[in-house]
Chains A and B, each alone.
Chain A
Amino acid sequence: MNQFTFDAASLRLAKIRSTGRIGPALGQLFTVTGVTLVPIGAILLIAGLHQSLILIGLGASCGVIATWMNRDLLHLPPAPLGSTVRLDQLLPARLALGYRPNLSAAEFWNLLARTPDAGFMAARFGLDPATAAAALAANQPLDHNALFNEAARLAAELKQPVLTPALLLCAFVNLYPTLQQQLTAAKLTTADLAEGALWLDRLRDRQSRRRPFYGGIARDWASGFTPLLDRFGANLSREVEFSRARMPERTTGLDALAAGLESATGSVILIGEPGIGKTALLTALADRLLAGEHGSLAHHQIIALNASVILANTDAGDSIENIVLGLFDEAARAGNIVIALDEAQLFFGSGTGAVNLSQLLLPVLQARSVKLVLAVSPGDWQRLRATNTAMSSLLTPLVLTEADELTTLRLTADHALELEGASGLITTWRAVQEAYRLSGRYFQDEAYPGRALKLLEAAFNYRDGNFISERSVQQAIESQFGVKVETATAAESDALLHLEDRIHERMINQTRAVSVVAAALRRARAGVANPARPIGSFLFLGPTGVGKTELARSLAATYFSSESDMIRLDMSEYQQIPDVDRILAPAGADSGGLLPQVRQKPFSVVLFDEIEKAHPNILNLFLQLLDEGKLTDTEGHATSFKDCIIIATSNAGADVIRQRIEAGQRLEDFEEEFTNQLIDSGIFKPELLNRFDEIVLFRPLNQTELGQVVKLMVAEVNRTLEPQKISVRLTDAAAAELVAAGFDPRLGARPMRRMVQRRVEDTIADMILRGGAKAGDVITLDGSNLVPPPASAPTTPPPSDPPNSETPR
C-alpha cells in the first residue's frame, strides 16, 4: 500500500495556480495582444516612430508568454502512476488545484463532482452529485490514502496509466456504501461504474486521436477512373475518408481479411449472421488501406455492390450481365479497387430479388483480376458449397464470431455517443445494458453486436426526458414486438392482481386452472419467473367442452391484447414423422407455421390442442421447448418461446375424470394418482409431464354451471346484436330448457353452443327477417317461443372433436 504525500509548494502546483481557472482565456488574451501589437508597432516603426519599438517589444513578450502558457502551463498532464507517490504530481490539474490533505469526504466529493468527467459518470450512472454529497455526513473524515490506493488499484485493473477524475469517482464509491446504495437503486454495480470510466476514456481517446494520412492529393493518380462503379456501388473508402467518426483501433478478423485478400486466391468470403459486423469489418479495412497499410493493398478503395441496387438502376437497353461484367472490368482496369458483394447470396440466385450471376463471377475469380470480398450468412455459405464447388474453392472463407457481452456493451456504448451527437440527449449505462439484454431476447435473426446497436438506435425515438434510458429501450421493444418488458404500471398491476376475476367473466368454474395460469403471468411480470423458460407451461387434462381451450382464449383476450394473440395448433394434424419438419419449418418455407408465427408474436399464448395425438417425435420437441424456451428450425435458427404461455390440452383420461367426479370425488383427491396412471398407460412420458409447470385437471360442468355458460353465450349474442340496438333476454324457464336439452356429461358445454345457436340465434334471426324486431327492442325468450330442438342435436358430437374414450390403464 502506497503512502501518498502532497507538496503544496511544488513547481507543478505553482504552474497550475499561475493560470488558475481562467487559464485558457488568459492564454488567448496574450496571443491576441501579441499578434495585434507586433504588426502595429512594425507599421509605426516604418512610419518613423522610434518609440513603436516598445509596442513591438510588448507584443513579442506577450507572444513568448502566450507560447509558454498554451504549450506548457495549460497542459500539465498528471504523472504516470507508479512513477511517484506525490499527489501534486499525480492528480489532474483541476483536482490538484482544489486539493488539500485535510479535505472531508463531502468536500472531496464536491471537488470531484465539479469535473466534466464526474458529470459524464453521474448522468449516465444515476449518481446525483447533490444527493450523494448529502448522503455523506458534513464532517465525515476521508481516508485519503485509502482512496488513492483504491484508485491506483482500479487504474492497474483497468490498465489506465494515470489517475483520472472518473477513476477517483469509482474509488470513492467503492469506499462509501452510502454511495453504492444509489448505484444499487439504479440497478448498477461498482463494476458497471468502472466500465463507465473506460467508456469515458475511449471517448477522450477518440476525440484526441488524429485522423491518419490517407495518401494525400496524388493518391489515385496512378489508378483508373471508375464511373460505372461510382454509379452502382457505395464507395466505403470515400465514406471513411469524409466521415467525422473515428474508426475503432482494431477489429477482430481484420488481419485475417487483409491476409486473405493478399493471398493467392485474392478473394475472401465473410461468413456470419446479419449484425455480426461484416460491414464494420470492411469499413475498418477501408480505413487501414487508405492509410497505406498492407503492402500490395495500400491505398486500395473498397466499393460495395448490392444486387438490388444494380437491378433497380438497370437501364432498359442494358442487361444486368453486361453491367456486372463492366463493373468487374472497370475494377480490374482501375487497379486499386476491392469489390465487396454485400448479401452475396443475391448474386447466386438465392433469396428475394436475387439474380444468378455465378457464371459471370466464376471466371472473374479464376482470373484473379479483381480482389473480391463476399458477405454471406452461414446457411448461404453451406448452400454455395453444396451447389457451386468450383466457386467456393476459389474463395478464402473467414468465419466471423459473435461479439461477447463485454465487447457488445462497449461497442453499443460508443455507438450511443455517436447517436447522441449534438442532440443533447444522454444515454445511460442501463440503456446500454438493456439494449444488450432485450436485443438478445427478441432480435433472434441477428447477431451481436448488430442487434444491440439496432435496438439502441430504435430507442432514440423514445426519449425519456433528456435521457435515452432503460425505459426508452423497453418502449422500443414493446412497440416493435408487442411484448411487455417495462415494469408493470399501477393499472396493469391491478389487472394482474385481479386476473382471475377478469377471466371468470368469460369462464365458468375451473378455478384452479384459472388461478395457476394467472399466477404464472404475475410471476413473469414481477420478474420472479425463470427468464430462460416460457412464462408458464401447462397441461390441461379433462373431458371435452369443459373450458380448456376457452381458458387459453380468455387469457389471450384479457391479458394479451386480443384473442388473435393466441397461436393454436391442432396436434391431430401432426401425427406422422414428416410432420416434425413441418412444425420446425423456418419462416421462408411456411409463413403460417408455428415458428414464424411465434417470431411475429413473441408475446402470446401458444395452444397445442389434443397433444396426445401428435407423433412421439413431436412430443420430444416439447422437451427442448419447455426446458430452454426455444425451438430450432430446420435451418438451425432458434425461435424463442420465452415470452409465451404454453398450454397443451388433452382429453386423455377424460372418462376417468368424469367417472370419479360422478362418484363424488374431488379433483384434488385423485390428481396425483391420475397423473401416474397417464404415465403408466404410456400416453405421455414422465420426462414430458415433469417439464410442465403445472398439470391441471378440468372437471366436467354440472347443470347449474351450464346455466351460467348459457348466460355468457347469450351475452355474446347481445354483443353481436349491439350494432342493431336489439338485445335478447332469456327467462329462467328458457335457460333451464336450454340446459336440459343441451346437457351431455360427455360433451360438457360444447352442445350448449350449438343449442344457443340453433334455438336462440335462429329465433332472433327469424324475428329480424320477419320484421318482428327493430332497433331498441328487448326480445324476451321463454320456453314457448324458442325454436324447438332438433331431434339428435345434443348427443351428436362434432366430427372434428370426438369425445375421447382413451382411459389410462
Chain B
Amino acid sequence: MLVVAFIQWWYGPGWRDTAGRLEERLRTTWQTFSVPILLATLFAPWRRIVTSPGGSLDARMKALADNAVSRAVGFVMRLFTLLAGLAMMLVYMLIGGLILILWPLLPLLGPALIVGGIL
C-alpha cells in the first residue's frame, strides 16, 4: 500500500509541489533584489542626491553635471544589482528545471546505480 502511496504522491502532488517551490524561489529572488523597484527607478538619481540649478549658466551647467553623475551612479548600482539578481534567477531556473525534468526518473536512479555498482 505504501508503494502505491509513494507513486501517487511522487508523480502527482510531489511533482507539482516541486514546481511550486521553484516558482516560489524565483519570486523570492525577484523580490529580494528589488527587481520591480530597480526597473522603475533605473535612471533616478542615487539616493536623491541632486543639486538645484542656480541662476547663472555656469551654475546650471554644474548642477546638470552633478545630477548626471548622481543618475549615472544610480544607474550603475541598479544595473549591477539587476544583473546579479537575474543571474541568480537563471541559476535557479537551470537547476530547478533540470530537477523537474528528471523528477520522474529520480526514484529509479537509486536502484539503477546500486545494480550498476554490483554489476
Contact = CB atoms under 8 A, between A and B. Distances in A.
B56 interface: no
Contacts of A217: 32-34, 81
Interface in A44-59: 50-59
B47 A216 contact: no
Contact of B113 (A54, A225, A299): A54
Contact of B14 (A71, A215, A222, A335): A71
Interface stretch (B37-45, B59-67, B90-98): B37-45
Interface residues of A, number: 39
Interface string B75-110: 001100100000000000000000000000011011
Majority secondary structure, B binding face: helix
A59 B41 CA distance: 48
Given A11-B5, A222-B44, A216 B14 contact: no
A223 interface: yes
A219 interface: yes
B109 A53 contact: no
A53 B116 contact: yes
Interface stretch (A60-68, A232-240, A724-732): A60-68
Interface string B46-78: 111100000000000000000000000010011
Nearest to B42: A222
Given A217-B32, A221-B46, A223-B48, A56 B113 contact: yes
Contact of A15 (B2, B31, B37, B114): B2
Majority secondary structure, A binding face: helix
A809 B115 CA distance: 120
Nearest to A333: B48
Contacts of A213: 28, 31-32
A400 interface: no
A68 to B, nearest CB: 6
A218 B78 contact: yes
Interface residues of B, number: 41
Contacts of B9: 68, 72
A222 B39 CA distance: 11
A78 to B, nearest CB: 16
Interface string A211-252: 001011111111111000000000000000000000000000
A222 B73 CA distance: 12
B15 to A, nearest CB: 11
A250 to B, nearest CB: 22
A221 B41 contact: yes
Interface string A345-375: 0000000000000000000000000000000
A740 interface: no
Contacts of B4: 11
Interface in A305-348: 333-335
A14 interface: yes
Contact of B33 (A11, A18, A52, A216): A216
B108 to A, nearest CB: 9
A15 B32 contact: no
B38 to A, nearest CB: 5
A221 B78 contact: yes
Contacts of B17: 71
A299 B38 CA distance: 13
Interface in A11-67: 11, 14-15, 18, 50-64, 67
Contacts of B81: 217-218
A224 B34 contact: no
A334 B47 CA distance: 8
Given A64-B106, A67-B14, A218-B78, A334 B48 contact: yes
A209 B57 CA distance: 57
A60 B33 contact: no
Given A11-B4, A72-B13, A57 B112 contact: yes
Given A60-B106, A218-B78, A224 B49 contact: yes
B69 to A, nearest CB: 16
Contacts of B41: 221-222
Contacts of B31: 213, 215-216
A642 B112 CA distance: 83
Top 7 nearest A-B pairs by Cβ distance? A57-B113, A61-B110, A53-B117, A216-B34, A54-B117, A218-B34, A57-B114
Interface of B: 1-2, 4-6, 9-10, 13-14, 17, 28, 31-35, 37-38, 41, 44-49, 74, 77-78, 81, 106-107, 109-118
Given A50-B117, A216-B37, A334-B48, 8 more contacts: A51-B118, A57-B112, A59-B110, A64-B107, A68-B6, A72-B9, A220-B47, A221-B74
